[in-house]
Chain A
Amino acid sequence: AQRVTQPEKLLSVFKGAPVELKCNYSYSGSPELFWYVQYSRQRLQLLLRHISRESIKGFTADLNKGETSFHLKKPFAQEEDSAMYYCALSGPGQGGKLIFGQGTELSVKP
């Protein structure tokens, strides 16, 4: 079954603390993995995709095929990072469909 799991519904940290948002996936094949961010009442925006291996706004994510994980990390959280974060996958031959995790709400306190 194709599935994306984000085990934490809410993650609350203090400003300057490290952040890790967990994402595990189930897919038979080689999916493409993404992180999307949704700031309060705004559109979803692409944050990262695993094939580009870049760092955006200080966030990084490494695909671990052995553990089928794609955790999102940032060493020092900022208040403006507070948002809803979605992990998603897309598989070949799926018509571009994105399968989303349940989302993790990140709250960064001052």
Chain B
Amino acid sequence: DTAVSQTPKYLVTQMGNDKSIKCEQNLGHDTMYWYKQDSKKFLKIMFSYNNKELIINETVPNRFSPKSPDKAHLNLHINSLELGDSAVYFCASSALVYTFGSGTRLTVV
């Protein structure tokens, strides 16, 4: 049973397209996150939701829109994809300790 699952695992798309990444957790955690890992492997928080409410929005372009239909899901929609959006995106959830998903490797060509 995967605790935090993301789909798809890989995503290759052209510039200008719109794409979504889905995330689901079955841990019963109230808080979920999206982190971006860039080409230099640096990890930075993008968003955090607590029980479907946005609590952290870390100066991310508004082409990125998170959506939390319920506390077990936090999806990430990206409009008008740019080359610089190429990265690995990690979903996570936490109570006291984080559990990360396996990541979505997004390549914009």
What does the 1/0 interface line of B25-59 toward A look like (CB < 8 Å)?
00000010101000011111100101000011010
Of the stretches A62-70, A71-79, A95-103, the one at the interface is: A95-103
Q: How large is the interface on A (under 10, 10 to 19, 20 to 34, 35 or more residues)?
A: 10 to 19
In the complex, how many residues of chain B place their beta carbon closer than 8 angstroms to a beta carbon of chain A?
23
CB contacts between A and B, total, < 8 Å = 46
Q: Is the CB of A102 within 8 A of B40?
A: yes
Confirm or deny: B89 has a beta carbon within 8 angstroms of a beta carbon on chain A.
no
How far apart are the CA atoms of A97 and B40 in the complex, in Å? Answer: 20
Q: Is the CB of A46 within 8 A of B98?
A: yes
Residues 74-110 of A contacting B (Cβ, < 8 Å): 84, 86, 95-100, 102-103, 105
How far apart are the CA atoms of A95 and B47 in the complex, in Å? Answer: 10
Q: Is the CB of B44 within 8 A of A44?
A: no
Confirm or deny: B102 has a beta carbon within 8 angstroms of a beta carbon on chain A.
yes
Confirm or deny: A42 has a beta carbon within 8 angstroms of a beta carbon on chain B.
yes
